[in-house]
Structure 1
Amino acid sequence: MKKMIHFAMLFLIHFSVLGQEKFTKDLDFDGIIDSVYVNTNESRIICMLSSQNFKEIKSKPIEILNEMSGIIDSKNGFTFFNDWMRAGYKNQFRYNKKTKKIQLIGMSRYEFGNAANDGSGESSVNLLTNDYIGNWNVYDHLANDENGELIKLPTIKTKMKFGIINLEDFGEDTYFNFSEKCSTLYYKEKKQIFNSK
């Protein structure tokens, strides 16, 4: 019993430390290393830039913060990811030299769907160009001689506008809003496919 309690405490400490680890990189392009991390106590992304005297720049609270969340490197910036068992999000940030702010420039998401993988797929949006691409699957119960089959919907390409979102404006509502817009496009495409049969 003591070993189990000891193991559980080490496990919790391990994840607590992981959530506080800082990702370091020159984000504001001044030759000095900056840092960004997910503060699990506050449930926020915190970024500190040398050009702003390492003052904390905080996101809005992210209430649904999973153990499988954190910061990873991306081209000219960083990506915040938040993964669940069957779905997840990535949110890419980059320093904007004109506004001197950390700006969200892209979002992507994936889903495995239900047990039949109905609704599985992935999508992304480039917030600089407003270009959206969605690759989704739907389970057709009548396909394959009514044995059912997972079919790929035609790739959805359209414009999706969000406006400028800086780190201080960013919260889980940002990517949940993306998810809702994405879902609307998915169901519209699904309806067209099944209505044409």
Structure 2
Amino acid sequence: MKKILALITILGISTFAFAQDKLVKDIDFDGKKDTVYIDQKALQIVCRLSTQNFKKLRSKTIEMSSDDTYIKSTRNGFELTINWMRAGYACQFRYEKAEKRIRLIGITEYAFGNAANDGSGEASANLLTGDYIGNWHYFDHLANNEKGELVKIPTIKTRMKFSKIYLEQFSEESYFSYQTQLEDIVESHKTAEKNRRAKK
């Protein structure tokens, strides 16, 4: 997984284009239209909320993306989506009325893995509850009379601890720090499935 992410990083840094320039909707729930967009020069998400006199609220720099990166509307806020050739992720944001700040509340990800789909799957994390659900695969080269077989790891359901991340703290490191936490979890479930299959 680390090798895949490293390759994606190298390939992704070279391009930074966005499918949607600006999202216009009521983000802060006051009945007035707000705007969310990506400043392509500063490489930051920018929100202008009516409740804050349309002051520019900015994320940290988002240095890594692809030619398929965009902002889209969600039921309670908006989402930053980044798609590469064989993997991608999305970060969901919502305005917190009590704190008067925009908070990262969810992360979803997917991967197609390599040519044999080793490492393929998808997952989601609710940063409000800490719930994580992952469905991943690995390629067993010795299975099927050594012809190989794609094996589904039983669905991973676990709780994780997430600190609060607000828009002005957000960067691609917010996703990668979450991803790093998961490596050991996914690997342990993969090992358990390998051991289970070896006992058959």
Give me the TM-score of the superposition, normalised by structure 1: 0.88
1:52 aligns with 2:52: yes
Map Cα deviations across residues 51-75 of structure 1 (whole Å, 9 max, x no partner): 0000011001011122211100111
What's the CA shift for 1:38?
1.2
Q: How does 1:77-156 map to 2 (within 5 A)?
A: 77-156=77-156
Write the distance in 1 (CA, Å) between the matches of 2:183 and 2:124.
Answer: 12
Q: How does 1:16-95 map to 2 (within 5 A)?
A: 18=18, 21-95=21-95
What's the CA shift for 1:183?
2.2
Q: 1:175 matched to which residue of 2?
A: 175
- CA spacing shift, 1:19–1:144, aligned 2, 3 Å: closer
Write the distance in 2 (CA, Å) between the matches of 1:117 and 1:69.
Answer: 23
| Structure 1 residue identity aligned to 2:118 | D
How many residues are aligned here?
182
Map Cα deviations across residues 35-89 of structure 1 (whole Å, 9 max, x no partner): 0011121111111100000001100101112221110011110000111111101
Give the RMSD, CA atoms, in angstroms: 1.4
Write the distance in 2 (CA, Å) between the matches of 1:74 and 1:20.
Answer: 14
Q: 1:4 matched to which residue of 2?
A: none
Map Cα deviations across residues 96-142 of structure 1 (whole Å, 9 max, x no partner): 01000001110011111111000000111001110000000010111
Residues 46 and 58 in structure 2, CA contact (< 8 A), matched pair in contact too:
yes
Runs of 4+ in 1 over 2 A off after TM superposition: none
Q: Give 1 or 2 for the bigger CA radius of gyration.
A: 1
Residues 19 and 68 in structure 2, CA contact (< 8 A), matched pair in contact too:
no
Q: 1:193 matched to which residue of 2?
A: 193
Percent identical pairs in the alignment equals 52
What's the CA shift for 1:185?
1.5
- Structure 2 portions without partners, runs of 5+: 1-15
